[in-house]
Structure 1
Amino acid sequence: MMRLRRRFLAFVGGVVVIWFVFLLMGSDIIMDYDRPASKEEPVELLWWSRHMSWNYDVERQCGIYTCRVTNKRNRLKSSRGVLFYGSALDVGDFPLPRRPQHAWALLHEESPRNVPFVPHNEFLNHFQVTSTFSRFSNFPLTTQYLPSGGALTSTDYYVSFAGKSASAHRPSTSVVFLQSDCDTMTGREDYVKELMKYVEVDSYGACLQNKKLPKSLQKDYLNNLYSPELLKFLSSYKFMIAIENAACADYITEKFWRPLVMGVVPIYFGSPTIKYWEPNNKSAIYVSDFPHPRALAKYLHEVAENQTEYDSYRSHKITWNRPIKNKKLNYSLLTRQYHIGDTSPGGSLFERFECSVCRYVLTSTRKTRANTTHYDCPIEPEYAHLESQQEPQNVADWRSMMQVGKCQAKILDTYFRRNRSYTKAEFDVEINRRMDESDCVL
């Protein structure tokens, strides 16, 4: 979440710099939004976020369409689209009363762990446009963490089986874990801790750390996920633990794509739809295929000693003829609207999202509504199973959090339908009442 908020702040900060430059140059590109709009002026979109505490007012050219995007709340009445950033949502701050022309648009690429009311239909149904990790959202971000199809097939970081096996300072079954978010809905830390009993794991992040990254990589590696130096360092391992922080359909982060880019075999748990997106039928080892960590460790030892079996997971690196056989993945890479590392003009996530909403409000002829397919996350946390069959230690807390999220979504639905403004204090009173009366039990 911290990484995404930094990205959000960097984006809007950059726009602020451009705005001041244009202002100093006397450009008429930045127009005075406080004067009445004429018929010739572009359609207006409004960012509704208190995190944007500075003036943001730009004209966005989106192909043949033009919209003006602002964060000036006094422009709410004249705006056609209202834009929300998921990680900055505030239950006490929604623009009510809502006018008939207002299309609400939600950008939320994260899992529900930081905003637990988002997965519920009672909340999602009030949005016309979404951009999430789901392939069914209006502006899907499912493959955003895969730089390109070429990155999957490139041999820039490829290390042969013999090269990986020749390391004198690590065992043949070389497994790496690089994670600094230790409390997750999937019970990631609990699973890895048990796996470590049966196979040696080099853990470099804050979670279960037993080794330190080289000094040159220790600074801000979380915001440099694909730095060449980091990829080269990790590529000598045979396996990389890749467990998402939540198990949502199509929620796939760098944890899956990065090892594939390096030619390292992912040990994956997370999205239940992951096999829809893997490059080939055998691209990763899936935690859910094994009853417990001990069984997984046994299999890792076997694969690590068998070159044919190990390389069968790396056909996207070593096969010249059709290295990526998944047609659905290839089509997605050809048609997607955004991916990390896009340096083209207007290539940032937030600019692309603004344009997707701009096109919607200018071309849509029907009132669409989002639903749970746009953000498909289980309300009951799904986690990697331990041999004892006990829940990971923090799952009960996550379950309670999702229960609160359900309650929040119901209250927001009531307020949105009533279409009158309310205060944060009123919201807090209502949620306390419902929780006390067990009105929001999952």
Structure 2
Amino acid sequence: MRPWRNRHLSIALHLIIWLTILVICWNIFRAGDKPRKDKAKDKPTEVLWWSSAMSWSYDEIRTCGIHKCRFTNNRQRLSQAMAVLFYGSNMKMHDFPLPRLPQHIWALLHEESPRNVPFVPFNEFLRHFNYTSTFSRHSDLPLTTQYLPGVSELTTMKYFNDFYTKSFHFTHVIFLQSDCDTMSGREDYVKELIRHIRVDSYGKCLHNKDLPPSLQEDYLNRMYSTELLNFFKHYKFMIAIENGICNDYITEKFWRPLVAGVIPIYFGSPTIKDWQPQNKSAIYVDDFPNAAALAEYLLFLADNQTEYDSYRQHKLNSANNIDNKRLIENIMTRYYQIDETQKEGSSLFQKFECAMCQRLASSEKYKSADVRHYECPLPPIHAPLSNKQEPHHAEDWRSMMEVGRCQAQLLDNFFQANRSFTQEQFEQKLYEC
């Protein structure tokens, strides 16, 4: 029996020794592997800007919340990128990163109307993007109220002139625009309005009066300067017609007169009443058959304090300045609004970058955009002119948007084929469209 016991004892000892060796090796392996895992964990997610307009070298590692990303415009790093970012106004139809790799998330930032990129509003184009940041409330990162600095600017009495102080000014209506070729037919409508009521036009478009010398330089880039708002406040009405008509496309043209205690004469977003601070905050051009009817109403309001001030309850009703819950909620939850102080990290592009960095780290399922992310009625809508006339450039804008439809369909074909193409190839197909 003893040899049998010795043999089994020997086997047991060998098993113990081998198990001990295995445990030691496993611990050594794990100890050696851990730094590699930590290193992989610390490696920033790569995000690539695909923009030919960025002529400078851009490569920056930044922390967004708890996540770290590397933002670059170095196209040589396309294969390492997890997301490709596009800025709408700078997109070139023949310049997209094709073939598209399986890991590539496409994200579109475009805060403007479609006048420069007529192919954007169409579903054939939009469905190839996983995320968007546009003016639409249906966008993943909406910019609907980006031009409104905040609630306090709407309610402040800093720039408020009472009705009688404004009445000392012979002219009641101000117009300040430099673009005189718009999809909305703004310039044609204002021409008609001027026939019925005096309008002080300070911009390059329909110019008939000069700004004070201190405001003439760079007023376009000082949208909410104290000096400019103090100048506006003397007027009773301000023409606020957008250059393009899209749902939720609302610029400073609407918000700025409200901040200055001036009533906007608005034409633009068909959904504008969803965003006004009170149920009665602006005069809407499309509530009148033509400019003559609007002028008649303006002259009535200019001589009627009660009716005039009924449009300024966001200033005068201190108990309930803002009666729009949607507007308040949007301002409290939005991820971006203009910041003229230009503080570090406050630009629209940096906000978009960080938002995408955080989205890439989340478990949220990737989806496709659609026309709701950039909703513009087609053919383009224009302000109502007398005798149902059309603006001077209406046919040009309609033609441009029809070309945009063809462009979107062609891009859709190339994207689905997932192969690169040249400018000549695209233009040849467009000619055949």
Q: Given the two structures, how large is their TM-score scaled by the length of structure 1?
A: 0.88
SS in 1 for 2:323: coil
* Structural mapping, 1:274-313, within 5 Å: 274-313=272-311
Alignment of 1:50-199 (within 5 A): 50-167=52-169, 170-171=170-171, 174-199=172-197
SS at match of 1:134: coil
Report the count of equivalent residues. 394
Q: Distance in 1 between matches of 2:106 and 2:378?
A: 24
2:231 paired with 1:237: no
1:47 aligns with 2:10: no
Cα deviation for residue 367 of structure 1 reads 2.5
> Does 2:351 correspond to 1:352?
yes
> What is aligned with 2:216?
218
* Cα deviations by residue, 1:71-120 (Å, 9 ceiling, x for unpaired): 01011011000000111000010000001110000000000011000000
Aligned to 1:419: 418
In structure 2, distance between residues paired with 1:400 and 1:303? 39
- Give the conservation status (yes or no) of the 8 Å contact 2:174–2:200: yes
Give the Cα separation in 1 of the matches to 2:272 and 2:103.
38
Q: Distance in 2 between matches of 1:71 and 1:126?
A: 21
More deviation, 112-121/333-342:
333-342
Percent of aligned positions that are identical: 59
Q: Shift of residue 40 of structure 1?
A: 3.1
Aligned-partner residue type, residue 308 of structure 2: Y
Alignment of 1:11-30 (within 5 A): none
Q: Which amino acid aligns with 2:45?
A: V
Aligned to 2:380: 381
Instruction: Note the C-alpha offset of 1:364.
Output: 3.7
- Give how far 1:381 is off: 0.7
SS in 1 for 2:42: coil
Aligned counterparts of 1:338 and 1:254: Cα–Cα separation in 2: 15
* Higher gyration radius (CA): 2
The residue that corresponds to 2:255 in the other structure is 257
Distance in 2 between the 1:340 and 1:277 partners? 17
What is the SS of the residue equivalent to 2:239? strand
Distance in 2 of aligned mates of 1:60 and 1:112 = 32
Letter of the aligned partner of 1:211 in structure 2? K
The Cα of 1:343 is off from its aligned counterpart by 4.8
The code of the aligned residue for 2:276 comes to E
Q: Is the 8 A contact 2:65 2:358 kept in 1?
A: no
Secondary structure at the counterpart of residue 114 of structure 1: coil
**What's the RMSD between the two structures over aligned residues?**
1.1
Residue of structure 2 in register with 1:13 after alignment: none
- Ranges in structure 2 where 5+ consecutive residues have no aligned partner: 1-38
**Secondary structure in structure 2 of the residue aligned to 1:76:** helix
Deviation track 1:40-75 (CA, whole Å, cap 9, x = no partner) reads: 311100000111111111112111111111001011
Structure 1 position 39, deviation (Å) = 5.1
Deviation at 1:345, TM superposition (A): 3.9
Deviation at 1:38, TM superposition (A): 4.8
Cα deviation, residue 271, structure 1: 0.1
C-alpha separation between the residues in 2 aligned to 1:54 and 1:346? Answer: 19
Q: TM-score, normalised by structure 2?
A: 0.90
Task: Look up the equivalent residue of 2:140 and give its one-letter code.
Answer: N
TM-superposed deviation, 1:365 = 3.7
Amino acid aligned to 1:359: Q
Superposition deviation, residue 329 in structure 1: 0.3
2:250–2:269 contact (8 Å) kept in structure 1? yes
Q: How far apart are the structure 2 equivalents of 1:252 and 1:164?
A: 26
What code does the residue aligned with 1:144 have? Q
- In structure 2, the residue matched to 1:11 is none
Q: CA deviation at 1:433?
A: 1.1
The separation in 1 between residues aligned to 2:166 and 2:266, in whole angstroms, is 20
Query: Which structure carries more helix by proportion?
Result: 2
Following the alignment from structure 1 to structure 2, what is the Cα–Cα distance between the partners of residues 268 and 196?
A: 16
Partner of 1:404: 403
- The answer (yes or no) to whether the contact 2:110–2:133 under 8 Å persists in 1 is yes
Give per-residue Cα distances to partners, 1:212-248, cap 9 Å, x unaligned.
Answer: 1011111111111111111111110000000001110
Q: Which amino acid aligns with 2:422?
A: T
Moved over 6 A (4+): none
Pairwise CA distance, 1:344 = 4.9
